[in-house]
Every structure is written in structure tokens, then in C-alpha cells.
Amino acid sequence: MSRRRVITLAGAALVLSSLIAAAPALVSETRRAAALARMPYKERRHRVLGPLWDSIDAVKRIPGTGAIPIVMRRPEDIDPTLLVSSYLYPRATKHFWSLEFYRSEPISLTAPAVYIDTSRTNAARVMTYLDIRAEQIRDRPLPVHPLPSFTGTDFMVPFAAAVEGGPPDAYMTEVVFVPENAGSISMTFEPAGERIAFAARPGERIVYRDVVYEAYHHLGIGWLRVSATTPVHAAAWLVNRGREQRAEIALFAAAPPLPQRLGSGDRLWLLNSNGRATRVMVNGTEMRLPSHALTSVPSLASNNLDEGPGVLAFTSRKLPNGNTEFAWP
């Protein structure tokens, strides 16, 4: 065999092996290129790069010239986050490994940010801190509650909060209602007096994981006045979702009779269930509580509420594990 033929055979075998190896990808890539060739470049990018690229236009419309915050659902979302930064350049971006990192900065809760959560979608979404918070709460697994032991038609949830503490503490109030019969339930967030009503179907579990934000669309601290046309089994918890802790909140049909005696805590809370201002005598000091107010003062080792009909007193203490311990009268 001639020298040239040996080289040709060996070279051809090598090339052929590469061709066989490359053929599937080569065919599909050539088809893809042929299909894309007829399209404008913008459309090609849409086809090739998918929803992440498509979402960049909306991100570019975020007003201002400062760095755009990009919040990751979890650190694994860093890859699309870097791509978004690259696509947005020369607009500066600032990355946050999670919502907790984002809220540790002095931010506006309603300012637009870019949110990357690849477990939901491979796109960059323009959302506010509150939107992201609400979505993350919705994504939490639905808690399984036994049938609550408290039953009533008119009652109070004496503490309802949607507040973000210093990271990782983040509080929300979870409530569950199970109506006995068909009817309606109204729920008023006091002291603001914001009221919502909803239908009740017998035996249906109505769960608000973050009742203040889900029902009233803002953060805040207050209490809930619930009225139903049918007896309702109900329960409520203060949840520290940053530390996966929960403390049950006692429900009351009415303020307990006076005097009320309470043990120690960090804060002593006073809830005025009356529709008028009320004078109270607490730990020997006279106070005036506005209508439907919920207020707190530093707690003593033992606390006494001696005057103030229609007022409910309770204490709260933050535990080392991030949970809250309530003491009820």
C-alpha cells in the first residue's frame, strides 16, 4: 500500500468517526439554523434563549439609573442571575442570595426588583419585595391542622401580624376556619377597621397562611374581629417563618372579666375590644386606650389589669429559638 493511501485511509477513518459522532447534533443544529435563518435576529433570540431573554425587556423598563436589585429564590439561581446582569449591562445590578439578604438592606418594600426563581419559571420577573414575600409564603407547604377546638360565631384573634423582623425572623399570622354550616364570615382587622367577608361552606377548611397580607394587602400588627352566620371552628398561630417556629394564639369570644393577672414577658399587650376609648389601670398606672386599639408596654415580672372593662391583656416573650411564648389571662 502506498504511503499516501495509508495516510488517506487513516485520516478518512478519523474524520469519519468524528462525523458519525457529530452527525446527530450536526443535523439538528443545521435544521435549527435553517429554520432560524428566515427570522429577524430578535425572533431568533426569542427562539434560542427562551423566557429569560424575553423577560429582559420588562426589566430594562425599571425606572432610574441606580443598580437594579436581583433577588434569588435560592443560591442555586445564581446562573440565570448572572445572565440577567450580563444582558442588562451597562445598567448596574446588585445580587441578593435570598429575600432575607435583600430585606437586610435599607430597601423600599414597594420598589421594583428582579426576582429569579427557577423552580417556578426560568424568567426574570419584576416584583416588589411584598410580591416576592407573598409568593414565597404561598409556595410553603399547606399546613395540616386538626379540627380546631375553639368554636364560636363572634370572636377575637387577639394578635395578627405581618411583620419582618431582623433577619432571619419574619412573622405572619396563620388562621384556619372550619364552618359548621353554610353561611358567611366577616373578618375585620383592627384598629384600622378594614373588613372583608367571604362565603362559608360546611366543613371547608379556610386557611390564611399570612392573614394580614392575604386579606388586607399590607404589613402591620393588629387584631382580628370575626363574625360568622354559622358556628365556626377556628385556630390561629403566630408563625416565625424565618425560623420555622409557630406559637398558638388563644381566641376569645369576649374580653375576660377583671381583674386579669398575668405572668412575666417581654411585652404586655392591651387590646381594647370596645368601640370607644377606655380608661384602664395597668400595673397601678392609668392609661387611656383608643377604640379597638392594640398597644404594648414593657412587661413586669407580674402584671395586673384592674380597671378597663372590655380590655384583654396578654404578654409575649421571644424565645431563644425564635418562637414566641404568649401568656393569656
Partner 1 sequence: MGMLFTVVFFPLLGAAVGRCVGRMQPFLAGAGIAGSVLFLTSLAHVPLPFTAGAMVVLSLVVVWRKRKPIATPIRYPRLPTMIAAGFAIWLLAFTAIVPLDDYDGRAVWLFKAKAIAHEGGVDGPLFRLQTGVSPRNQYPLLLPIDAALTMIAGRELDDRHARWLYACLAIGFALEVRRRFASLFSPEVGAWLAAALICLPAILSPAIGAASAGCDVALGAFAACAFFELIEGESPLRFGVWLSFMTLTKREGLPLAALLLAIGVVAFGQRIAVALMPLAAALAGLFYWRSYVKPTDEPAFGGLILDLPRHGRRFAEFLVAFAREPLRFSMWGMLWLAVFVAIVVLLLRRRWKPVVVTLAIILPMIALYAAVVAVTNWEPDVMYGLAPRLLIHLLGPGLYALAAALHVTAAR
Residues in contact with partner 1 by the rule CB under 8 A: 3-4, 6-8, 10-15, 17-22, 25-26, 29-30, 32-33, 36-37, 41, 44-45, 48-49, 67, 79, 82-83, 85-87, 89-90, 92-95
Amino acid at site 286? E
Burial of 90 (0-12, 13-18, 19+ CB in 10 A): exposed
Helix axes 3-37, 41-54, angle to 10 degrees: 80
Residue of 103, 129, 112, 107 lying closest to 242 (CA atoms): 103
Cβ proximity to partner 1: between 12 and 147 the closer is 12
Cβ proximity to partner 1: between 46 and 205 the closer is 46
Cβ proximity to partner 1: between 4 and 61 the closer is 4
- Name the minimum Å distance from CB 93 to partner 1: 5
Cis peptide bond N-terminal to 69, omega within 30: no
Cis peptide bond N-terminal to 259, omega within 30: yes
Q: Would you state the cell numbers that stand for residue 131, as one nine-digit string?
A: 410580591
3-state secondary structure of 54: helix
State the first-to-last Cα distance of the chain, in angstroms, to the nearest integer. Answer: 105
Residues with Cβ < 8 Å from 268, sequence gap 6 or more? 262, 282, 283, 296, 297, 298, 299, 300, 303, 313, 314, 315
DSSP sequence for 74-140: SGGGHHHHHHHHHHHTTS-EEEESSHHHHHTS---TTS-EEEE-TTT-SSEEEE-HHHHHHHHHHHS
Cβ proximity to partner 1: between 37 and 142 the closer is 37
- Name the minimum Å distance from CB 54 to partner 1: 13
Cβ proximity to partner 1: between 6 and 253 the closer is 6
- Name the minimum Å distance from CB 97 to partner 1: 12
Q: Would you state the cell numbers that stand for residue 103, as one nine-digit string?
A: 430585606
Cβ proximity to partner 1: between 91 and 318 the closer is 91
Whether the CB-CB separation of 292 and 276 falls below 8 Å is answered with no
Cβ proximity to partner 1: between 89 and 110 the closer is 89
Cβ proximity to partner 1: between 28 and 302 the closer is 28
Whether the CB-CB separation of 241 and 169 falls below 8 Å is answered with no
Three-class HEC string of 203-248: CCCEEECCHHHHHHCCCEEEEEEEEEEEEEEEEEEEEECCCCEEEE
